[in-house]
Structure 1
């Protein structure tokens, strides 16, 4: 997985340079300390999916290009077979599969997200990103933390929220949870 992280980081750096955007400008746009952004870009730290989405937006490219190195070409439809989505390992508690990496000019980014139970004593990892997010719980139980609220979801429940507010997801009952996430 470390090789994949370095490949994504290299594509981000190359596209940023081609776009004539400085490291400082990109870090500022992402609301990140420069050193954090530099760790992302040199591949020493994995780029969270929410940050990768914002980078793609800032660089005016499809997120699929950053993930795979290939420009999406499908414009009528794309099919992603079970367990064949483009893997995006973002944090130790979450794993993502991009379900439409090959579709060009998407208006949303669909992901299949798996959340492992967090180790005792670890706090849920919060993040925020531009836009809105829709989550539909497929398996397990999930607690969503968002803007001073804690909401528990059961299989079949969904939530739609403003992703600019810090949020986190936590698998409950000591079991992994799986949900469909659509980022708009």
Structure 2
């Protein structure tokens, strides 16, 4: 909760209404001085004061506690992707990190390589799209050949593995929720 600035949020909601700080203070029945201190981060409002401000500003009380998002941190430049190499497989993380409920990555599978020796499962649900090449995916005991343009949904806890026993590298774009590897 380090990115939470309650006072700044109060000010933002007040300005969105087009109100001066005096107008909000009067409608919320608090002193202009107290409101000014709250907005500048010099005073911490009580829960009761936050409830009154929320009602006056017509916003949910919890909205004061939502973390600010630095939108620049949401961008991943192609040359700045986090890369992981596990055995012969390489992964490029398209998501900025593993926080949140979803991660997206590119898996590069060289020829004559598989993702694991045996079928593995994880608690995350997965959707994969074959960008280039072809690859076998094993879902439980069934084997499927996927080619560029094909996709597959892998439910949580379904045992699976990837296998490229072809001559061309396979590139697989996948998203998993929650983000687990």
Using structure 2 for the length normalisation, give the TM-score. Answer: 0.52
- Count residues with an aligned counterpart: 109
1:183 maps to which of 165, 176, 179 = 176
The 1-side partners of 2:70 and 2:128 are apart by 25
Per-residue CA deviations over 1:85-123 (Å, capped at 9, x if unaligned) read 201222x232111111248x422111111011226xxx7
* Contact 1:141–1:172 under 8 Å retained in 2: no
The 2-side partners of 1:150 and 1:95 are apart by 23
2:111 maps to which of 102, 114, 117 = 117
2:81 aligned with 1:88, yes or no?
Answer: no
The 2-side partners of 1:132 and 1:150 are apart by 19
The 2-side partners of 1:139 and 1:154 are apart by 7
Deviation at 1:78, TM superposition (A): 1.9
Deviation at 1:150, TM superposition (A): 0.6
* Contact 2:75–2:96 under 8 Å retained in 1: no
Deviation at 1:180, TM superposition (A): 0.7
* Contact 2:112–2:166 under 8 Å retained in 1: no
1:158 maps to which of 145, 151, 156 = 151
SS, match of residue 74 in structure 2: coil
Per-residue CA deviations over 1:28-72 (Å, capped at 9, x if unaligned) read xxxxxxxxxxxxxxxxxxxxxxxxxxxxxxxxxxxxxxxxxxxxx
Bigger Cα Rg: 2
The 2-side partners of 1:82 and 1:167 are apart by 29
SS, match of residue 128 in structure 1: coil
Deviation at 1:183, TM superposition (A): 0.6
- Which residue is equivalent to 1:79? 75
SS, match of residue 111 in structure 1: strand
The 1-side partners of 2:168 and 2:71 are apart by 38
Deviation at 1:128, TM superposition (A): 1.3
2:133 aligned with 1:137, yes or no?
Answer: no
Per-residue CA deviations over 1:107-145 (Å, capped at 9, x if unaligned) read 2111111011226xxx74532110210000001001001
Q: What is the RMSD of the two structures over their aligned residues, measured on CA atoms?
A: 2.8
Give the 3 Å change call, closer, same or farther, for CA 117–125 of structure 1 in structure 2. farther
Deviation at 1:162, TM superposition (A): 1.4
